[in-house]
Structure 1
C-alpha cells in the first residue's frame, strides 16, 4: 500500500515518462537538424537531393529516442547505422561530400542514445558490445583525426559512465529502502512479541493470585460442609464449594485465551462495509453500497475509522428513520477517502424504546475519533427531509501496521 501511495505522489515527469521521452526526442531532432544545416556536422557545400533525403533520415533516426527506455539497443543501432551510412556515402562512395571533413558526423542524439543500453538493458555483455561498435562508427578510426576521434569518444563515453553511476545509485537507494522497511517490520515484530510476553506474564500473575484465593474459599467451604451444625448450612457450603471449583475451571480457560491471541481476531476495515450493508438489508432497511476507486488505498487505521462511521450512521438510521432508503457512497483515491451516508425521510415513526437506547454521544465520539487522523465529519439534515453523514479522511495515516 505504501508503494501505491508513493507512486501517486511521484512527480509528473516520472508518471509520464513516454511523454517526456517524446518531448526530448523532438527537441533533439530540431537541434540536430539545425546543427546540420549550420555546417556543424556532415552537411555539404552544395546539397543535392541525396543530402536532403539523408537529412530526413537523420530526423527519423533521432526521433527513435522516444523509445530509448523500451528498446535502447534499437536506438543505438538506428543511430549507428545512420552515422555509418553518412561515412560510407562520403568515402569511399563519394556520393556525399561533407563541407567539413574534420567534423563529427554523428548526431548529438548519440550522446543520449549511448546512455540507454547500460541503464535499461538487462544483458550487460550485449550492451558493452553494442556500445563498442557504436563508438567505432562515431570515431571513424579509418579516417583518423585527433579532434574527431576525441570528440567522438567523449560523445559515446559520457552517456555510459552516467548510466553506470545512476544505476549504481538506484540500486543503492533500493537496498537502503529495503533495509529500512525490513528494520521497521522487525521492530513491529519485536514489539508484538513483547506485548505477547507481557500478556502471558499478566495472565500468569492473575492466575496465581486469583487461584490462590479461590482455592482457599473452596477448602474452607469443604471444611464448613463437614462441620456444619445443620443440613441447610452444609448444603450452602457445598454449593459454595461447587461454585468455587467451577470458577477455577473457567479461570483456567480464560488464562489460556489470554496467553495466546485468538486466531480469528481481526480488526474491522473497509472490506467489511458490505457486511454492514447486508446487516441493514437483513433487518428491512433498503441500503445501497457504491464504491469508487481502490479500497487498498486506505491504510488500516483509516479503514477502521471509516468502518465505525458507517456502523454508527446505519445504526442511527435504524433507530430514528424506519422505512428510509439509505445510500452509502465511498470514494477512494491516492490522497483521501470520502464516505457519504444519506438516508431519505422515514416512512414511519421511530419506536421510542429503540430510539432512546444509547448515550446520544455517537456523533461526538466519531468526531473525536476522526480528528485523531486529521479528518473531518459533517452530519446534518438534508433539504429533502433526510439526513446525511459525510466523513473526509486522509487515505494514508502512518502506523506500525503500515510496515507489515
Structure 2
C-alpha cells in the first residue's frame, strides 16, 4: 500500500508540476525529442500487482486496496495535458501513434497487473483453504484413530481384568492351598514356586492393565520400587555358556514398576536371541541410568559357529516386535537391527509413566 500510494503520488506530482509550469520536468527540444522519456514511473505495474496480490490477513477490504491503482490511473489518463503529440510521435518513431495510444497501453499494463494480482491472491486463498481442510481432516482422522485405540485398550483391559486376572488369582489360591495340604516337601516346594510365579504374573498383569487404562495426559505415577537387578540375567546366561559383560553407568533410580519390568524383559529377550541365533558370540549389556529414565543397549558380536536350526526355529518369531510394542506402551523408544557383523537392541525408557490402577 505504501509503494502504491507513493507511485500514484509521484505520477500526480509530475502531472501537477507540468500543468502549473510546462517544461519544468518534460523538455521538448526543437527536434521534437522528449526528455525525460518516462512519463509514469516503471514501478506502476509492480505497485498495482502488489496491492492486490498480497492482502494482509484480516486487513483492508479489496476496494480500499484498489484505491492506489485508481489514483495512479488518473494522471495517466490526463497525459495529453502535458505531452504534445509531436513529441510522442517522435519518441515512438511512428507518425500514426498518439498520446491516446500510449495512455491506452499504460492503462492496459496497470490494470492487467492489478487483475493478475487479484488472481494470484484468490488462488492463494483457495490453496490455503484446501491445505487447512486437509490438515483438519488429518487431525480429525488422528483423533478418531486415537479414540478407537483408547476404546480398544479399555476393552482389552476389562477382558484381561475380568477373565485372565480372575483365573490367575484362582491358580495362585489353589497353589497356596496345595502348599498347605501337600504331604511331602517336594510337592510343597513346587506349589510354593507355582504360587510365587502366579503372584509375579498378577503383578505384571496389573501393570499392563493399568497401562492400557491410563490417560496419556495424566500426571506420571510416583516411583514405587527400584529397578531390577540385571546381574541375575547375566549370571543365568553365563551359566549356559554365553559370555556376557554387564556395564552400568550412573545410579539406578526408583521408577514405576512397569519400567523396571520392561527393562528386564528387553535384556532377557536380547540375551535369549543371542543364545539362539549367535552361538559363541560375546554379548555386552550396557545400562545408563539417569534421573529421567534408563537406556539399555545389548550388543552381540559375530557368532563363532552355526546356530542350531531347531533352537533358532523355536518361539513365535514375534519377540522383538512384542518388545517394541511393550516399550512404546510406556512412551519409550525401541530400535533393533544389525550392528556390523553382530546385532544390537536398544531401548530408552522413562522413569515414570502414568498408570491407572485396575479396579480389584
TM bucket, shorter chain = 0.3 to 0.5
TM-score, with normalisation over the residues of structure 2?
0.44
Rg: which structure is higher?
2
The structure with the greater share of residues assigned to helix is: 1
